[in-house]
Amino acid sequence: MTSRRKFLKNTAITTAAIGLVPTFSSALAGCAPSDRINIGLIGCNGMGFADLSAFLEHPQVECLALCDIDEGVLNKRAADVEKIRGKKPASLYKDWREVIDNKDINLVIVGTPDHWHCLQMVAACEAGKDVYCEKPIGRTIEECNLMVKAAKKNKSVVQVGQWQRSDLHWLDAVNFLRSGKLGKIRLVRVYSYQGWNTSIPVVADEPVPAGVNYDMWLGPAPLRPFNRNRYHFTFRWFWDYAGGLMTDWGVHLLDYALYGMDVTAPKSIMAMGGKYGYPDDACETPDSLQTIYEFDGFNVMWDHAIGINDGAYGRNAVLGFVGENGTLVVDRGGWEVIPEVVNGTKRMEAVPLKNGDGRGLKNHVKNHLDCIAKRNPNTNASIEIGAHIAKFSALGNIAYRTGRKLVWDGTSFTNDADANKYLIPEYRAPWQLPKV
C-alpha cells in the first residue's frame, strides 16, 4: 500500500537521481517546436512537483515557469528542475496570474490547495491552455459545474490527478467485476484508514513566515491569522480549504466504486462520525466517518479513520465489491477475489492476488500528452470524471455537516433547503466565483 508520504518521498528520490532522466539539451533535441509542451506549474509543493517530475520524463516537455507563494519552496523546486534538466525554468512567479498571462505556456499544472483549483483552472482554460489539475477538482458542487463548463467552452484538454484511472490493475479489476462472475453486488465497501496520519496538536497563531505571501495563499478563503496547522499539507483538515479524508482519498476510491458499478448520482446520503480519536486536536474535519450512499439494489459504504491502519481485508485503503458468489478486493497493491463459502462449499473459484505495477502516474501523464497531441478531451480522468466524483465526495461531507439524511436529485437536495447552502461557496473579496 503506497501512502502519500511514501509516494512523495519516492518522487524526491527520483528527482535527485540526476542522470536517470535526460538533460535539458538532450531532452528537446529533435523535438519540433510545434510538438513541444511548455509547462507552467502553479503550486510547487507535494503532488504538484510530483506531477511535473512525471511530465519531465517526456522529451517534448519543457518547464517554462514555476509559481508558488512560498519563496523557499519556489527556489528549491527551481533547483530541482535544474537537476533534472540542467536548466532552471525561465520564470519564477509568486502570483499565479502571471503563469496564465505567459503566452508561451500551453499546459498548466494546478497543484495548489483545493480552494484554489476552480479559479486557476477556469482562468487557464479561458487563456486557451490545457490543464492537469490535482484532485479533488473542486471543493463545492458549483465550482465543479463551472470547471466542466469552462473546459468544454474553451476546448481545453484536461486531466484530473486521479491517476488510478490509468493504473492497469484497477481496470483489470473492473473488467472482472463486470463479467458477472461475482453474482449480484449487494454492497461496495470503501475504506481509508490512514495510520501514519495522526493528530495535529493545537498551536498558537504566529507571524507570517518570511518569503510567504499569505494573503495570496488564502485567496478566496476567509481571512484568518497565519497558523502552521492550516498551511502546507495539513490544510486539508480545515473546511475553509478542503474536505478531510472524504475528499482527499474519497475521490480516488469512491471513483472506482461508481465506475465499477456503472452508476452516477445516489438517491440519498447519510453520514455519521466525528472527532472520536482526537477530540481536542486542531482538525475541523472528522477523524472518523461512516457514510452510506443509497442506490437501487445496493449501497456504497464509505468508512475512514486517521491514526488507525486496520481497514478491511487487512489493507488500509481498499474497495470490496461484495457479491453473492464472492468479494472482489482491490487497492493500489493489486486485486483478488475471495470466494463466498456456504456450508463448506465455495460458490466460485478464488482469484489469487494480481499485483499492480506501480505505473499509474506515469501512465496518466502519458495519456494526457497523447490526448493533447490529438486534441482529444476524453482523457482517462477527464474534467467530467473528476467533477462527478468531487461532487459525490462533497455530498458525503454535507450529509455529515448537516447531520441529516439527504435526498439528492442530481442537482440539489429535495428535502433540505439548509443543505443546499453548502452547494455554492462564498469567496472573500476581491476574489469572485468565475462567470463562465
Over 166-203, what HEC string results? HCHHHHHHHHHHCCCCCCCEEEEEEEEEECCCCCCCCC
Label residue 32 by pLDDT band (50, 70, 90): low
Phi, psi values for residue 311, rounded to 5°: -80, -170
Q: What pLDDT is attached to residue 28?
A: 52
Q: What pLDDT is attached to residue 26?
A: 47
Whether the per-residue pLDDT at 13 is higher than 50: the answer is: no
pLDDT tens figures, 126-167? 999 999 999 999 999 999 999 999 999 999 999 999 999 999
Label residue 197 by pLDDT band (50, 70, 90): confident
Rounded (10°) angle between helices 141-154 and 117-126: 10
Terminal alpha carbon distance of the chain: 40
Give me the count of residues in the chain: 436
Whether the per-residue pLDDT at 198 is higher than 90: the answer is: no
Whether the per-residue pLDDT at 297 is higher than 60: the answer is: yes
- Which contiguous run of DSSP H or E holds residue 93? strand 91-93
Instruction: For residues 401 and 222, give the distance between their C-alpha atoms in angstroms, rounded to a whole number.
Output: 19
268-274 β-sheet, strand order: 351-355, 334-339, 326-331, 317-323, 185-194, 298-306, 288-295, 268-274, 406-407
Report the DSSP beta bridge partners of residue 170. none
DSSP state of 280: T
Which three cell numbers mark 29?
533535441
Mean pLDDT to the nearest integer, 37-48: 97
Whether the per-residue pLDDT at 23 is higher than 80: the answer is: no
Instruction: For residues 249 and 283, give the distance between their C-alpha atoms in angstroms, rounded to a whole number.
Output: 17
Q: What pLDDT is attached to residue 261?
A: 97
Which three cell numbers mark 277?
480519536
Q: Is residue 365 within 8 Å of residue 134, measured between CB atoms?
A: no
- Can you spell out the DSSP letters for 389-434? HHHHHHHHHHHHHHTS-EEB-SSSBSS-TTGGGGSSPPPPTT----
Whether the per-residue pLDDT at 430 is higher than 80: the answer is: yes
Instruction: For residues 390 and 258, give the distance between their C-alpha atoms in angstroms, rounded to a whole number.
Output: 12
Whether the per-residue pLDDT at 120 is higher than 80: the answer is: yes
Longest dimension (CA), the chain: 69
pLDDT tens figures, 78-114? 999 999 999 999 999 999 999 999 999 999 999 999 9
Average pLDDT score, the chain: 93
pTM comes to: 0.92
Mean pLDDT to the nearest integer, 48-74: 97
Whether the per-residue pLDDT at 61 is higher than 70: the answer is: yes
Domains of the chain: 4-165+362-383 (3.40.50.720), 169-357+389-422 (3.30.360.10)
Q: What pLDDT is attached to residue 330?
A: 98
Report the DSSP beta bridge partners of residue 274. 288
Mean pLDDT to the nearest integer, 274-301: 97
Instruction: For residues 56 and 71, give the distance between their C-alpha atoms in angstroms, rounded to a whole number.
Output: 22
Q: CA of 424: how far to CAs of 237, 350, 392, 419, in Å?
A: 20, 47, 15, 11
Whether the per-residue pLDDT at 72 is higher than 90: the answer is: yes
Mean pLDDT to the nearest integer, 23-47: 74
pLDDT tens figures, 209-232? 999 999 999 999 999 999 999 999
The backbone region for 180, taken as left when phi is positive above 0, alpha when psi lies in -120 to 50, beta otherwise, is left
Q: What pLDDT is attached to residue 2?
A: 42
Q: What pLDDT is attached to residue 16?
A: 41
